[in-house]
Structure 1
Amino acid sequence: MEFRYLGNSGLKISEITYGNWLTHGSQVENETATKCVQAALDAGISTFDTADVYANTAAETVLGEALKGERRESLEIFTKVYWPTGPRGKNDTGLSRKHIMESVNGSLQRLQTDYVDLYQAHRYDTETPLEETMQAFADVVRQGKALYIGVSEWTADQIREGVRLSKEMGFQLISSQPQYSMLWRVIEDEVVPTSAELGVSQIVWSPIAQGVLSGKYLPGEAPPAGSRATDEKGGADMIKRFMRDDVLTRVQALKPIADDAGLTMAQLAIAWVLQNDNVAAALVGASRPEQVGENVKAAGVRLDADVMSAIDEALGDVVERDPGKTAETAPKGRVA
Structure 2
Amino acid sequence: MTTTPSPAPAPAAAPGTTPSPTPTRLPRRLIGTSGIEASVLSLGSWHTYDRMDFADAVDMVAFAVEHGITLFDVGVYGFRGMQPPVFTDVLFSAIVRAARIPREDYLLSEKLWLEGFGDDGFRPQLEHALFRVGSEYADLVILGDLRRDDVDLRDLVVDLAALADAGLIRAWGVNNWSAANIRRLSDIAAAEGVAGPQIAQLKYSVARRSIPDGEPFARLFADGLTMQASDVMEGGILAGNVTPGREVGREVGRDPGSIRERIVADVPAFAAVADELGTTPAQLAVAFTLTHPATTTTLFGASRLEQVQQNLDAVALVERVGAAELRARVEPFWADKGVVDPEGP
Q: TM-score, normalised by structure 2?
A: 0.80
Q: For 2:228 and 2:326, locate their aligned partners in 1 and report how far apart those are by CA, in whole Å.
A: 23
| 2:19 match | none
Write the mapping of 1:16-165 to structure 2, written as runs, cut at 5 A. 16-25=41-50, 27-53=51-77, 56=85, 58-68=87-97, 69-82=100-113, 93-124=115-146, 125-165=148-188
| 1:171 match | 195
| 2:329 match | 310
Write the mapping of 1:234-249 to structure 2, written as runs, cut at 5 A. 238=253, 244=261, 246-249=262-265
Write the mapping of 1:266-277 to structure 2, written as runs, cut at 5 A. 266-277=282-293
Distance 1:169 1:62, change over 3 A: farther
Q: For 1:252 and 1:194, locate their aligned partners in 2 and report how far apart those are by CA, in whole Å.
A: 35
Check whether the contact 2:216–2:343 (CA below 8 A) recurs between aligned residues.
no
For the pair 1:326 / 2:344, whether they are aligned, the reply is yes
| 1:220 match | none
Distance 1:19 1:306, change over 3 A: same
Q: For 2:28 and 2:307, locate their aligned partners in 1 and report how far apart those are by CA, in whole Å.
A: 20
Distance 1:304 1:276, change over 3 A: closer
Q: For 1:30 and 1:113, locate their aligned partners in 2 and report how far apart those are by CA, in whole Å.
A: 20
Distance 1:97 1:149, change over 3 A: farther
Question: Is the deviation greater in 169-178 or in 188-197?
Answer: 188-197
Which residue identity lines up with residue 108 of structure 1 in the other structure? L
SS of the residue 1:256 aligns to: helix
Q: For 1:106 and 1:317, locate their aligned partners in 2 and report how far apart those are by CA, in whole Å.
A: 40
- Give the superposition deviation at 1:255: 2.0
- Give the superposition deviation at 1:194: 2.9
Q: For 2:197 and 2:334, locate their aligned partners in 1 and report how far apart those are by CA, in whole Å.
A: 35
Match of 1:231 among 246, 253, 274: 246
- Give the superposition deviation at 1:311: 1.4
Question: Is the deviation greater in 268-277 or in 181-190?
Answer: 181-190
- Give the superposition deviation at 1:146: 0.3
Question: Is the deviation greater in 56-65 or in 137-146?
Answer: 56-65
- Give the superposition deviation at 1:120: 1.5
Check whether the contact 1:185–1:321 (CA below 8 A) recurs between aligned residues.
no
- Give the superposition deviation at 1:40: 1.7
- Give the superposition deviation at 1:243: 5.0
Which residue identity lines up with residue 16 of structure 1 in the other structure? L
Please give the per-residue CA displacement for 1:96-151, whole angstroms capped at 9, x wherever unaligned. Answer: 35251101101111121111111121122422111111111011000000011111
- Give the superposition deviation at 1:169: 4.1
Which residue identity lines up with residue 138 of structure 2 in the other structure? V
Distance 1:190 1:95, change over 3 A: farther
Check whether the contact 2:259–2:336 (CA below 8 A) recurs between aligned residues.
no
Check whether the contact 2:90–2:132 (CA below 8 A) recurs between aligned residues.
yes
Check whether the contact 1:96–1:132 (CA below 8 A) recurs between aligned residues.
no
Distance 1:30 1:23, change over 3 A: same
Q: Which has the higher helix share?
A: 1
- Give the superposition deviation at 1:61: 1.1
Match of 1:9 among 29, 34, 42: 34
Which residue identity lines up with residue 126 of structure 2 in the other structure? V
- Give the superposition deviation at 1:216: 3.2
Q: For 2:38 and 2:117, locate their aligned partners in 1 and report how far apart those are by CA, in whole Å.
A: 26
The percent of aligned pairs where both chains have the same amino acid is 23
Q: Which has the higher contact order (CA 8 A, sep 6+)?
A: 1
Question: Is the deviation greater in 232-241 or in 283-292?
Answer: 232-241
Q: For 1:191 and 1:242, locate their aligned partners in 2 and report how far apart those are by CA, in whole Å.
A: 22
Check whether the contact 1:119–1:146 (CA below 8 A) recurs between aligned residues.
yes
Query: Tell me, which stretches of 5 or more residues in structure 1 are unaligned?
Result: 84-92, 218-222, 224-228, 328-336
Check whether the contact 1:206–1:284 (CA below 8 A) recurs between aligned residues.
yes
Q: TM-score, normalised by structure 1?
A: 0.82
Q: For 2:309 and 2:130, locate their aligned partners in 1 and report how far apart those are by CA, in whole Å.
A: 28
Question: Is the deviation greater in 103-112 or in 186-195?
Answer: 186-195
Please give the per-residue CA displacement for 1:216-258, whole angstroms capped at 9, x wherever unaligned. Answer: 32xxxxx3xxxxx2126868962776652x4323121122321
Check whether the contact 1:160–1:198 (CA below 8 A) recurs between aligned residues.
no
Q: For 2:96 and 2:237, locate their aligned partners in 1 and report how far apart those are by CA, in whole Å.
A: 30
Q: How many residues align?
A: 305
| 2:311 match | 295
Aligned CA RMSD, in angstroms, stands at 2.6
Q: For 1:254 and 1:159, locate their aligned partners in 2 and report how far apart those are by CA, in whole Å.
A: 33
Query: Tell me, which stretches of 5 or more residues in structure 2 are unaligned?
Result: 1-25, 79-83
